[in-house]
Amino acid sequence: MAEDESPSTAKQRFVALAVEAKGLPSANEESKQLGLWPEDRRGVPNVIVRSALFSAGKPTRVRQSYRDHELPAAIGTKSIAYTGQQLYQHELDVWLEVVHRCRLRPAGTETDFHVHGFLKSLRRATGNKDHKQLHATLGLLHATSIRVVSERDERGRAIGYRGHLIDKFRFNDQLLRWEVGIHPEIAELFAPKEHTWLHIDARLELGKNYLAKWCHGYFSSHRKPYPVGVSRLRELSGSATSRLRRFREALSDALDEVSRVERRHKRRFEWKVDEQDLVHVVRESGN
């Protein structure tokens, strides 16, 4: 769901059917949930896809480590900081899949899965190397801590959330069955108008074009994207490209790729850069 989009009748019907089928608590009961979205979408807090928490850069052999590192915030976005090793877009794919599998359960309960099935959902190979990489990624997501400030009072005192992206991770490598849990408080980041439903087919088709993946998430989180400067996108995405000219070229290629992928799925995504170096995007209304 886009940040300012009301649910359509079809989506409301989906939610009602999912609640009934799964025996989930209704909206007026005391239970936190991540959200209910269709199988072909992945829910994600806007603050995550509008920041460099998961960098658009290419993974490096040695990751940078941060402590309460404040990330640049897009207009209308809560402030976010994180502690831990740098994360990348392919690791966001893993977190999105974990959240997706947890969405039909009360937040705080684990989702269990067979490693092969999880990897296939990400369109990855299922060899031993891939198991180890997934294991390492889940470990990183558990070790990383985020701090999100949702508001401040008149004296500047913060109100927000702090916790790990993944709360629990149990594994049985003999049976290849793992359990992963999300802390119930993280449901606060999935409040109405605070999260986005990404088309997962398009995202996964972008492959290892990490800047394209970041752009897809960023612009998907706006129902009607406002013009944003090329230099600002470099800052927000966490790009390590020092020369703006080189980043502008990479951004052009990334936006072209997003446009091609969306067009294959009969969705509109058009873009241009004006004489003030502002990026204008027109996309299909909603997600």
Q: What is the CATH number of the domain that holds 35?
A: 1.10.10.10
Supply the range of the domain harboring residue 177. 9-206
CA torsion sign for 231, 243, 248, 96 is negative
From first to last of its 287 residues, what are the pLDDT tens digits of the chain?
554 444 444 445 554 445 444 444 443 344 577 878 999 999 999 999 999 999 999 888 789 899 999 998 776 667 899 999 999 999 999 999 999 999 887 766 789 999 999 999 999 999 999 999 999 999 999 999 999 987 777 776 777 888 999 998 999 988 899 999 998 888 889 988 889 999 999 999 999 999 999 999 999 999 999 999 999 999 999 998 999 999 999 999 999 999 999 999 999 999 999 999 999 999 986 55
In a domain, 34, yes or no: yes
CB atoms within 10 A of CB 285: 10
The structural domain count of the chain equals 1
Q: Is residue 158 part of a domain?
A: yes
Q: What is the dihedral of CA 207, 211, 214, 216, to 10 degrees?
A: -70
Cα 222 versus chain centre, distance: 14
In whole angstroms, what is the distance from residue 149 CA to residue 163 CA?
A: 12
Is residue 263, in this structure, part of any structural domain at all?
no
Q: In this structure, are strands 278-283 and 269-273 parallel, antiparallel, or unpaired?
A: antiparallel
**Model confidence, pTM:** 0.86
Residue 127 falls inside a structural domain:
yes
Cα 258 to chain centroid distance, Å, stands at 16
- 239 in a domain, yes or no? no
Q: Is residue 164 part of a domain?
A: yes
